[in-house]
Protein backbone atom coordinates (compact mmCIF):
# COMPACT_ATOMS: atom_id res chain seq x y z
CA UNK A 1 0.00 0.00 0.00
CA UNK A 2 2.70 2.50 0.97
CA UNK A 3 6.41 2.24 0.36
CA UNK A 4 9.09 4.73 1.31
CA UNK A 5 12.60 4.43 -0.01
CA UNK A 6 15.64 6.25 1.35
CA UNK A 7 13.47 9.00 2.81
CA UNK A 8 15.34 11.92 4.40
CA UNK A 9 14.33 15.33 5.63
CA UNK A 10 16.62 18.14 6.68
CA UNK A 11 15.70 21.36 8.46
CA UNK A 12 18.62 23.59 7.47
CA UNK A 13 21.70 21.59 8.44
CA UNK A 14 19.78 19.41 10.90
CA UNK A 15 18.86 15.92 9.67
CA UNK A 16 15.47 15.07 11.24
CA UNK A 17 14.89 11.90 9.17
CA UNK A 18 17.83 10.00 7.74
CA UNK A 19 17.57 7.44 4.92
CA UNK A 20 14.45 5.62 6.12
CA UNK A 21 12.93 2.79 4.05
CA UNK A 22 9.94 0.57 4.78
CA UNK A 23 6.75 -0.70 3.22
CA UNK A 24 3.34 -1.25 4.73
CA UNK A 25 0.72 -3.57 3.29
CA UNK A 26 -3.10 -3.45 3.31
CA UNK A 27 -4.77 -3.93 6.68
CA UNK A 28 -1.70 -3.58 8.90
CA UNK A 29 -1.69 -1.58 12.13
CA UNK A 30 1.79 -0.16 12.46
CA UNK A 31 3.20 1.75 15.40
CA UNK A 32 5.86 4.37 14.77
CA UNK A 33 7.68 4.42 18.08
CA UNK A 34 10.40 6.76 19.30
CA UNK A 35 11.39 9.30 21.91
CA UNK A 36 10.51 12.98 21.52
CA UNK A 37 12.29 14.39 18.50
CA UNK A 38 13.00 10.96 16.93
CA UNK A 39 11.43 12.05 13.62
CA UNK A 40 7.96 10.45 13.81
CA UNK A 41 5.94 13.57 12.98
CA UNK A 42 8.31 14.49 10.18
CA UNK A 43 7.83 11.05 8.58
CA UNK A 44 4.04 11.30 8.92
CA UNK A 45 3.98 14.78 7.38
CA UNK A 46 5.97 13.50 4.40
CA UNK A 47 3.71 10.46 3.91
CA UNK A 48 0.60 12.65 3.99
CA UNK A 49 2.06 15.17 1.55
CA UNK A 50 2.28 18.04 4.08
CA UNK A 51 6.05 18.18 3.84
CA UNK A 52 8.45 17.66 0.95
CA UNK A 53 11.16 15.05 1.52
CA UNK A 54 14.72 16.33 1.08
CA UNK A 55 15.62 12.98 -0.47
CA UNK A 56 13.93 9.71 -1.23
CA UNK A 57 10.73 8.52 -2.75
CA UNK A 58 7.22 7.69 -1.50
CA UNK A 59 5.00 5.25 -3.36
CA UNK A 60 1.29 4.91 -2.80
CA UNK A 61 -0.30 1.80 -4.32
CA UNK A 62 2.65 1.36 -6.68
CA UNK A 63 2.40 4.95 -7.90
CA UNK A 64 4.98 7.60 -7.03
CA UNK A 65 3.34 10.10 -4.66
CA UNK A 66 4.75 13.03 -6.65
CA UNK A 67 3.14 11.78 -9.87
CA UNK A 68 -0.40 11.93 -8.44
CA UNK A 69 -0.39 13.70 -5.07
CA UNK A 70 -4.12 14.50 -5.12
CA UNK A 71 -4.98 10.87 -5.86
CA UNK A 72 -2.86 9.71 -2.90
CA UNK A 73 -4.16 12.41 -0.56
CA UNK A 74 -7.75 11.44 -1.39
CA UNK A 75 -7.05 8.01 0.08
CA UNK A 76 -5.23 9.15 3.20
CA UNK A 77 -6.81 10.35 6.45
CA UNK A 78 -4.58 12.33 8.81
CA UNK A 79 -4.84 13.21 12.47
CA UNK A 80 -2.07 15.78 12.99
CA UNK A 81 -0.36 16.15 16.37
CA UNK A 82 -2.01 19.52 17.03
CA UNK A 83 -5.34 19.41 15.30
CA UNK A 84 -6.51 22.84 14.11
CA UNK A 85 -10.10 22.42 15.29
CA UNK A 86 -12.26 25.53 15.48
CA UNK A 87 -13.32 25.94 19.12
CA UNK A 88 -16.54 27.90 18.51
CA UNK A 89 -17.99 25.51 15.94
CA UNK A 90 -20.20 22.62 17.02
CA UNK A 91 -18.95 19.11 16.27
CA UNK A 92 -21.50 18.76 13.45
CA UNK A 93 -20.64 22.13 11.86
CA UNK A 94 -16.92 21.46 12.05
CA UNK A 95 -17.26 18.01 10.48
CA UNK A 96 -19.49 19.39 7.70
CA UNK A 97 -16.85 22.02 7.03
CA UNK A 98 -14.12 19.34 7.00
CA UNK A 99 -16.27 17.23 4.63
CA UNK A 100 -16.45 20.15 2.20
CA UNK A 101 -12.67 20.46 2.31
CA UNK A 102 -12.70 16.85 1.14
CA UNK A 103 -14.95 17.87 -1.77
CA UNK A 104 -18.00 16.16 -0.28
CA UNK A 105 -21.18 18.19 -0.86
CA UNK A 106 -24.91 18.01 -0.01
CA UNK A 107 -26.30 14.58 0.87
CA UNK A 108 -22.85 12.96 0.46
CA UNK A 109 -21.36 15.32 3.05
CA UNK A 110 -24.21 14.70 5.50
CA UNK A 111 -23.94 10.92 5.06
CA UNK A 112 -20.16 11.05 5.58
CA UNK A 113 -20.52 13.15 8.74
CA UNK A 114 -23.20 10.80 10.12
CA UNK A 115 -20.99 7.78 9.52
CA UNK A 116 -17.91 9.42 11.07
CA UNK A 117 -19.96 10.47 14.13
CA UNK A 118 -21.29 6.94 14.52
CA UNK A 119 -17.86 5.31 14.09
CA UNK A 120 -16.24 7.60 16.66
CA UNK A 121 -19.25 7.38 19.03
CA UNK A 122 -19.75 11.14 19.10
CA UNK A 123 -23.57 11.02 18.91
CA UNK A 124 -24.00 12.69 22.33
CA UNK A 125 -21.77 15.62 21.39
CA UNK A 126 -23.01 16.50 17.90
CA UNK A 127 -24.36 19.91 18.92
CA UNK A 128 -21.71 20.70 21.53
CA UNK A 129 -19.27 23.55 20.72
CA UNK A 130 -15.79 22.03 20.39
CA UNK A 131 -14.32 24.21 23.17
CA UNK A 132 -16.68 22.54 25.68
CA UNK A 133 -15.36 19.03 24.93
CA UNK A 134 -12.87 17.09 27.03
CA UNK A 135 -9.48 16.27 25.51
CA UNK A 136 -10.63 12.70 24.76
CA UNK A 137 -13.70 13.88 22.86
CA UNK A 138 -11.63 16.48 20.96
CA UNK A 139 -9.31 13.66 19.87
CA UNK A 140 -12.35 11.72 18.68
CA UNK A 141 -13.43 14.76 16.63
CA UNK A 142 -9.92 14.75 15.17
CA UNK A 143 -10.27 11.09 14.23
CA UNK A 144 -13.77 11.74 12.84
CA UNK A 145 -12.44 14.40 10.43
CA UNK A 146 -9.70 11.96 9.36
CA UNK A 147 -12.18 9.23 8.34
CA UNK A 148 -14.83 11.39 6.62
CA UNK A 149 -13.75 10.37 3.13
CA UNK A 150 -13.37 6.66 3.94
CA UNK A 151 -9.58 6.65 3.57
CA UNK A 152 -7.67 3.47 2.83
CA UNK A 153 -4.74 4.69 4.92
CA UNK A 154 -5.09 6.39 8.31
CA UNK A 155 -2.11 8.30 9.69
CA UNK A 156 -2.57 9.24 13.33
CA UNK A 157 0.01 11.35 15.15
CA UNK A 158 -0.05 10.50 18.88
CA UNK A 159 -3.79 9.71 18.97
CA UNK A 160 -3.81 9.02 22.73
CA UNK A 161 -1.57 11.92 23.72
CA UNK A 162 -2.92 13.64 26.83
CA UNK A 163 -5.81 11.22 27.37
CA UNK A 164 -6.64 9.76 30.78
CA UNK A 165 -6.57 5.94 31.15
CA UNK A 166 -10.28 5.54 30.43
CA UNK A 167 -10.13 7.79 27.35
CA UNK A 168 -7.00 5.93 26.23
CA UNK A 169 -8.87 2.62 26.44
CA UNK A 170 -11.77 4.07 24.45
CA UNK A 171 -9.40 5.44 21.79
CA UNK A 172 -7.57 2.08 21.48
CA UNK A 173 -10.91 0.34 21.00
CA UNK A 174 -11.87 2.90 18.34
CA UNK A 175 -8.56 2.50 16.48
CA UNK A 176 -8.86 -1.28 16.43
CA UNK A 177 -12.33 -0.95 14.94
CA UNK A 178 -11.14 1.53 12.31
CA UNK A 179 -8.33 -0.84 11.39
CA UNK A 180 -10.92 -3.35 10.16
CA UNK A 181 -11.44 -1.12 7.10
CA UNK A 182 -8.15 0.75 6.72
CA UNK A 183 -4.42 0.45 7.11
CA UNK A 184 -3.43 2.38 10.25
CA UNK A 185 -0.10 4.01 11.03
CA UNK A 186 0.07 5.67 14.43
CA UNK A 187 2.90 7.37 16.24
CA UNK A 188 3.58 7.19 19.93
CA UNK A 189 6.41 7.33 22.42
CA UNK A 190 4.64 4.81 24.68
CA UNK A 191 5.74 1.21 24.19
CA UNK A 192 2.62 -0.27 25.83
CA UNK A 193 0.57 1.59 23.27
CA UNK A 194 2.21 -0.33 20.44
CA UNK A 195 1.89 -3.63 22.34
CA UNK A 196 -1.82 -2.97 22.89
CA UNK A 197 -2.83 -1.96 19.38
CA UNK A 198 -0.28 -2.74 16.69
CA UNK A 199 0.72 -5.71 14.54
CA UNK A 200 4.11 -4.24 13.83
CA UNK A 201 6.52 -1.68 15.19
CA UNK A 202 8.84 0.74 13.39
CA UNK A 203 11.27 2.07 15.96
CA UNK A 204 12.94 5.43 15.33
CA UNK A 205 15.99 6.87 17.03
CA UNK A 206 17.51 10.25 16.15
CA UNK A 207 15.96 10.24 12.69
CA UNK A 208 16.92 6.66 11.84
CA UNK A 209 14.81 3.55 11.58
CA UNK A 210 16.49 1.16 14.01
CA UNK A 211 13.95 -1.66 14.06
CA UNK A 212 11.13 -2.98 11.88
CA UNK A 213 9.52 -5.98 13.54
CA UNK A 214 6.23 -7.88 13.71
CA UNK A 215 4.94 -7.95 17.28
CA UNK A 216 4.23 -11.68 16.94
CA UNK A 217 7.92 -12.26 16.13
CA UNK A 218 8.97 -9.99 18.91
CA UNK A 219 7.18 -12.07 21.51
CA UNK A 220 8.90 -15.25 20.37
CA UNK A 221 11.67 -16.21 22.68
CA UNK A 222 15.33 -16.31 21.68
CA UNK A 223 16.70 -17.68 24.93
CA UNK A 224 15.98 -20.10 27.78
CA UNK A 225 16.31 -19.02 31.40
CA UNK A 226 17.59 -21.81 33.62
CA UNK A 227 17.88 -21.97 37.43
CA UNK A 228 19.91 -24.90 38.71
CA UNK A 229 22.21 -26.02 41.52
CA UNK A 230 25.06 -26.43 39.02
CA UNK A 231 27.83 -23.88 39.50
CA UNK A 232 29.71 -22.50 36.47
CA UNK A 233 32.84 -24.51 37.43
CA UNK A 234 30.94 -27.83 37.04
CA UNK A 235 29.17 -26.82 33.86
CA UNK A 236 30.41 -28.82 30.89
CA UNK A 237 30.25 -26.78 27.74
CA UNK A 238 28.37 -28.53 24.92
CA UNK A 239 26.03 -27.64 22.11
CA UNK A 240 22.48 -29.00 22.09
CA UNK A 241 21.01 -28.58 18.60
CA UNK A 242 21.50 -24.84 18.46
CA UNK A 243 21.73 -23.96 22.16
CA UNK A 244 25.14 -23.03 23.35
CA UNK A 245 25.06 -24.94 26.65
CA UNK A 246 27.78 -22.78 28.14
CA UNK A 247 28.51 -21.57 31.64
CA UNK A 248 29.57 -18.14 30.38
CA UNK A 249 25.89 -17.24 30.29
CA UNK A 250 25.83 -17.23 34.10
CA UNK A 251 23.55 -14.43 35.31
CA UNK A 252 24.12 -14.81 39.06
CA UNK A 253 23.63 -16.94 42.15
CA UNK A 254 21.59 -16.77 45.31
CA UNK A 255 21.28 -19.46 48.03
CA UNK A 256 22.97 -22.03 45.78
CA UNK A 257 20.55 -21.35 42.90
CA UNK A 258 22.52 -20.40 39.78
CA UNK A 259 20.74 -18.57 36.98
CA UNK A 260 21.80 -18.93 33.33
CA UNK A 261 20.59 -17.46 30.07
CA UNK A 262 20.99 -19.79 27.07
CA UNK A 263 20.46 -17.93 23.77
CA UNK A 264 19.37 -19.98 20.74
CA UNK A 265 22.40 -19.81 18.48
CA UNK A 266 21.86 -17.95 15.26
CA UNK A 267 18.05 -17.92 15.23
CA UNK A 268 16.42 -14.54 15.69
CA UNK A 269 12.86 -15.73 15.19
CA UNK A 270 12.68 -19.02 17.00
CA UNK A 271 9.42 -20.80 17.51
CA UNK A 272 7.78 -21.78 20.77
CA UNK A 273 8.02 -25.46 19.81
CA UNK A 274 11.75 -25.07 19.23
CA UNK A 275 12.09 -23.55 22.72
CA UNK A 276 10.15 -26.48 24.20
CA UNK A 277 12.34 -29.07 22.45
CA UNK A 278 15.50 -27.35 23.62
CA UNK A 279 14.18 -27.00 27.16
CA UNK A 280 13.67 -30.76 27.33
CA UNK A 281 17.25 -31.38 26.18
CA UNK A 282 18.68 -28.88 28.66
CA UNK A 283 16.70 -30.47 31.51
CA UNK A 284 17.92 -33.94 30.54
CA UNK A 285 21.55 -32.81 30.32
CA UNK A 286 21.42 -31.15 33.76
CA UNK A 287 19.83 -34.20 35.38
CA UNK A 288 22.43 -36.50 33.73
CA UNK A 289 25.11 -34.33 35.33
CA UNK A 290 23.51 -34.72 38.77
CA UNK A 291 22.25 -31.14 39.10
CA UNK A 292 18.95 -30.01 40.60
CA UNK A 293 16.73 -28.06 38.23
CA UNK A 294 14.69 -25.28 39.87
CA UNK A 295 13.45 -23.35 36.86
CA UNK A 296 13.43 -23.54 33.06
CA UNK A 297 11.41 -21.05 31.01
CA UNK A 298 11.63 -19.31 27.64
CA UNK A 299 12.78 -15.72 28.15
CA UNK A 300 9.85 -13.36 27.74
CA UNK A 301 10.64 -10.62 25.25
CA UNK A 302 8.76 -7.36 25.04
CA UNK A 303 9.31 -4.04 23.35
CA UNK A 304 11.04 -2.60 26.37
CA UNK A 305 13.68 -5.35 26.54
CA UNK A 306 14.07 -5.24 22.77
CA UNK A 307 14.55 -1.47 22.88
CA UNK A 308 17.33 -1.96 25.44
CA UNK A 309 18.85 -4.78 23.34
CA UNK A 310 18.76 -2.71 20.15
CA UNK A 311 20.29 0.30 21.84
CA UNK A 312 23.01 -1.88 23.30
CA UNK A 313 24.01 -3.60 20.10
CA UNK A 314 23.27 -0.66 17.74
CA UNK A 315 21.82 -3.40 15.53
CA UNK A 316 19.93 -2.03 12.54
CA UNK A 317 17.09 -4.08 11.09
CA UNK A 318 15.32 -3.00 7.94
CA UNK A 319 13.08 -6.02 7.32
CA UNK A 320 10.71 -4.60 4.75
N1 LIG B 1 10.16 23.02 11.31
C2 LIG B 1 11.24 22.58 11.94
N3 LIG B 1 12.39 23.28 11.93
C4 LIG B 1 13.50 22.83 12.55
N5 LIG B 1 13.58 21.66 13.21
C6 LIG B 1 12.47 20.92 13.25
C7 LIG B 1 11.25 21.33 12.62
N8 LIG B 1 10.32 20.37 12.83
C9 LIG B 1 10.93 19.40 13.56
N10 LIG B 1 12.22 19.73 13.81
C11 LIG B 1 13.20 18.91 14.54
O12 LIG B 1 13.28 17.64 13.92
C13 LIG B 1 13.40 16.61 14.89
C14 LIG B 1 12.30 15.59 14.67
O15 LIG B 1 11.05 16.21 14.99
P16 LIG B 1 9.68 15.42 14.92
O17 LIG B 1 8.60 16.39 15.31
O18 LIG B 1 9.57 14.74 13.63
O19 LIG B 1 9.91 14.34 16.06
P20 LIG B 1 8.87 13.41 16.81
O21 LIG B 1 9.48 12.06 16.88
O22 LIG B 1 7.54 13.52 16.19
O23 LIG B 1 8.85 14.07 18.26
P24 LIG B 1 7.64 14.27 19.32
O25 LIG B 1 7.37 12.92 19.92
O26 LIG B 1 8.23 15.23 20.32
O27 LIG B 1 6.46 14.85 18.57
C28 LIG B 1 13.35 17.29 16.25
O29 LIG B 1 14.67 17.45 16.72
C30 LIG B 1 12.72 18.63 15.95
O31 LIG B 1 13.18 19.62 16.86
SS3 of the chain: the string is CEEEEEEEEEECCEEEEEEEEEEECCCCEEEEECCCCCCHHHHHHHHCCCCCCCEEEEEECCEEHHHCHHHHHCCEEEECCCCCCCCCCEHHHHHHHHHHHCCCCHHHHHHHHHHHHHHCCCHHHCCCEHHHCCHHHHHHHHHHHHHCCCCCEEEEECCCCCCCHHHHHHHHHHHHHHCCCCEEEEEECCHHHHHHHCCEEEEEECCEEEEEEEHHHHCCCCEEEEEECCCHHHCCCEEECCEEECHHHEEEEECCEEEEEEEECCCCCCCHHHHHHHHHHHHHHHHHCCCCEEEEEECCCCHHHHHHHHHHHCCCCCCC
Q: How far is CA 271 from the centre of its chain?
A: 22
Best mutation site among 9, 38, 44, 83 for ligand 1 pocket (most ligand atoms within 8 Å of CB): 38
Residue whose CA is at the smallest distance from ligand 1 atom 27: 36
- What is the ipTM metric for this complex? 0.97
> If one looks up domain 2-218 in CATH, what number appears?
3.40.50.300
pLDDT, one tens digit per residue, over 247-262 is 667 888 999 999 988 8
**Which atom of ligand 1 is found nearest the CA of 17?**
14
- How far away, in angstroms, is 39 Cα from ligand 1 center? 6
**Which atom of ligand 1 is found nearest the CA of 14?**
5
All residue ranges of the chain with pLDDT < 50 are: 266-270, 314-320
**Which atom of ligand 1 is found nearest the CA of 187?**
22
Question: For the chain, which residues make up each domain, given as ranges?
Answer: 2-218, 223-299
User: Beta strand 153-157 with 183-188: parallel, antiparallel or unpaired?
Assistant: parallel
**Which atom of ligand 1 is found nearest the CA of 81?**
27
Q: How many residues does the chain have?
A: 320
What backbone torsions phi and psi does residue 80 show, to the nearest 5 degrees? Answer: -70, 165
pLDDT at 70: 87
Neighbouring residues of 247: CB distance < 8 A, sequence distance ≥ 6: 232, 233, 235, 237, 260
Residue whose CA is at the smallest distance from ligand 1 atom 1: 11
pLDDT at 317: 41
Please work out whether the CB of residue 145 comes within 6 Å of at least one atom of ligand 1.
Answer: no
Please work out whether the CB of residue 82 comes within 6 Å of at least one atom of ligand 1.
Answer: no
Best mutation site among 16, 157, 158, 188 for ligand 1 pocket (most ligand atoms within 8 Å of CB): 16
pLDDT at 314: 47
pLDDT at 316: 41
Amino acid sequence: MIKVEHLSRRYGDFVAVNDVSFQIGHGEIVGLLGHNGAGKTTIMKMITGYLEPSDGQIWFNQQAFDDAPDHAKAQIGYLPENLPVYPDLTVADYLLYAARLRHLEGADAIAAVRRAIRDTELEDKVLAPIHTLSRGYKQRVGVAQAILHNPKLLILDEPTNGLDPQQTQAMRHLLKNLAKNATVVLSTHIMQEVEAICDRVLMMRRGELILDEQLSHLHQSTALLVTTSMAPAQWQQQTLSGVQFAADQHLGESNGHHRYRLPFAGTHHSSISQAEGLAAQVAQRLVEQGAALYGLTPERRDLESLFREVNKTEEVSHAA
